[in-house]
Amino acid sequence: MARRPAAKKKTARKKSPARRAAPKRPAAAPKSSSTRRVINSPSLFPPTVPLSNAVKVGNLVFVSGSTPFAPDGSIAKGDFGAQMRQVMENIKVILKDAGSSLERVVKVNVILIRISDFWAMNDIYKTYFRAGNYPARTTVEAPLAHPDFLLEIECVAEA
């Protein structure tokens, strides 16, 4: 026959020492309201993908990749110079709407679909900045989403 386990003896419970109340935590500092502001320039052709023209946070403006759409939605197909100037003009509008300007740009990323346009890009680019006051810049060659885009430029500026 199977044995029954022996019954456990009840032991007297020891009294634990009196607990002190937990110290009160200092009140949490109120959360500051975010300074994040979305910028969508009404005078530009509206983005057809989910992005904002720019986002301003604190003293910085982050401009999304600006494309060569004219305000009416047209594109100067195949004309690199016209597209480059349109992109720079679009960036000027976005920065103005964000309370900034090209003079306050600190970093630029240029995306070209043909690296052979590099020198033409530089010739136009330098006309938008005061000599010797050029922002930091990276230029790369990469395919772009729209088949008619020859370039795209994004930047960061002080507000």
| Predicted pLDDT at 64 | 98
Question: pLDDT tens, 21-50?
Answer: 655 665 655 565 679 999 999 999 999 899
| Predicted pLDDT at 34 | 78
Which residues does 17 contact at the CB level (< 8 Å), separation at least 6?
Answer: none
| Predicted pLDDT at 111 | 98
Tally helices (H) and strands (E) across the chain. 2, 6
Which residues does 71 contact at the CB level (< 8 Å), separation at least 6?
Answer: 43, 44, 45
Q: How far apart are CA 45 and CA 154, in angstroms?
A: 16
Going by pLDDT thresholds of 50, 70 and 90, the confidence category of residue 101 is very high
Over residues 114-139, mean pLDDT? 97
Find the helix or strand (DSSP H, E) in which 125 lies. Answer: helix 118-125
Query: Can you list the domains of the chain with their CATH numbers?
Result: 37-158 (3.30.1330.40)
Q: How far apart are CA 6 and CA 12, in angstroms?
A: 19
Going by pLDDT thresholds of 50, 70 and 90, the confidence category of residue 17 is low
Q: How far apart are CA 79 and CA 72, in angstroms?
A: 17
